[in-house]
Structure 1
Amino acid sequence: MVLRLKKFGRSGAALWVGLALGCTAGCASDNSAGRPADGLLDEAVLGGTPAAEALPPTGTDAASPQRPDAKIVPPEEQAPAVETDGTAAAAEHVLQTGDEIDIQVYREPELSGAFKIGPAGEIRHSLAGAIPLAGKTVAEAEAVFTRILAKDYLVNPRVIFKLLASQSAQIVLMGEVKKPGVYPLPFGETMTLLQAIASAGGFTELASPDRVRIVRRRPDGGQTTLRVRVSDLLKSRDGQNDVPLQPNDVIMVDQVFF
C-alpha cells in the first residue's frame, strides 16, 4: 500500500510512520503469545530439527540459576531406579515355592544375592531372617523387603528384585537324554530345543536324534506334537532353525531302531 503523505506535511508523515511501527509491534506480539514464531516452527518441521530441540526449554529442564545450597550428586553416587527386570509381566508375576529371585540392595553387597523360595513359601536372609514371599507379586515382595530394611536396619534402602526362574515356567525332558527331568525356563529369556538337550547332558548312546518330539499345550486345552530332526538343526547356520520352547513343553527323545 502506498501512503500519500504530502498534504499532511512532515508532522503528518511522522504520525503515519509511528502508527505503522506500532501496528507491526502489536501484530508480532499477538503472534508470539499463542505459538512459536513461524520461522521456528518451519525449521522444526521442514528443516529436520526435532521440535524438542527447536522450541525453548520449559519446566524443570529449563536453564535456571543453581541454588547456592544445592548438592550436585555425581552419576557414580546416584542410586539406580527401583525396578524389577524391566517388564510389567515380571513385576506382576506371583511368586511361589521354588521360584528364584535376585535381590540387590544398593551399596550393600553383603545383603544382596540370589534366593530361592523354600517349601514354606519364604526366603532366608542373613540379616532380616525368614521373609514370607509366596503369594506376592515381584513388585509387592520388593516393597515388603524394602520396608523391613527401612524399619530396622537401613536408612532409605534402595532395593531391586529380579525374577531369575519360576516353577510356573518349566519344561520336561524325557527319554534318551542323560539327565531327564523338569527344567525351569529362565524368566524373560528364550530357551531353544538344542539348549534344553544340552542342559540335560545331551543324548544317550541309544538316542535317535532324528526322532525327537515336542508335545505342546494349546490354549483350547488340546495338544500339538512337533516332530524334529535334530541332525538338520545342527546343519543350519548359527542355529537359525532351532526351535524356541514354550512353558510346559514336553520333549521326548526316542530310541534308535536297530
Structure 2
Amino acid sequence: MNSAASSFFRMLRFLAGMVALLSLGSGLIAQVAAPAKTTARKSITYSIRSSDKLGVSVFDEDLTRTSRVDSKGTLNLPLVGEVRVTGLTVNQAERAIENAYREGRFLRTPQVTVTIEDYAPREVTIGGQIKIPARYPLPLESPMSLLELVGKAGGFTDTAKGTAVRVTRIQADGSTSTKNYDVESILRGKKDARAEDSSLTLEPDDIIYVPERVI
C-alpha cells in the first residue's frame, strides 16, 4: 500500500473516532439534562379553595382519585380518609397527602401529583351606593384591589359614603370579620388618604357594601 493510501485510511479512522466521541458526548449530555427536564415544574402560587376539583394520583399505586374539596376544606382519599388542603398551594397539598400516607404507614415513599381539574367560582359581591351592584369574578392570574372593584362597578353614586366602604370576609375558621375602608380619599387625591385602604386585595366571597352618606 502506498503512502497516499495509507494516509487516506488513517484519516478515515481518525474521522470515525471523532464521530464516536461526539456521539458518546451527546448521549452523556442528554442523560445529564434529562432529569432536569422531567423534574422541572411550574411554580404554582394559587391557594386551593373549597369546591375546587382536584385530581390526585400516587405514582405506581392504584389510588387515583378526582373529587372536589368539601366545605370543611378536605379531600376524602383512599386509605387515609380526610386530608385538609384548603389554603395550600398544589405543591404543599402534594406534600400533605404524601405525609398522610407515610404517617399512616400505608406507603413507605409515596409520590403524589395533584392537579386542579376545575376551579371553584371566585367572585365578590358589591352593593349599596354603587352604580353597578353585582357579583364580579376575580381573575386567577392577578389580584384585584378594592379600588379596582369600585371602578369596575361604575364608581360611587352621588349619595355614597365612600370613606366607610364596608368589607365582610369569611375567615379560615368559618367566622366573619368586617372592616371599613376609606376609598373616596384615594379617589380625591387627599394627602391624608391611606393607600392600604384602596389597595386591599380582595378574596373570594368578600362582600363589599357602600353605605349612604347622611346629609
TM range (shorter): 0.3 to 0.5
When the two structures are superposed, what TM-score results if normalisation uses the length of structure 1?
A: 0.38
Task: Pick the structure with greater CA Rg.
Answer: 1
Q: TM-score, normalised by structure 2?
A: 0.44
Task: Using CA pairs under 8 Å that are at least 6 residues apart, name the structure with larger relative contact order, 1 or 2.
Answer: 2
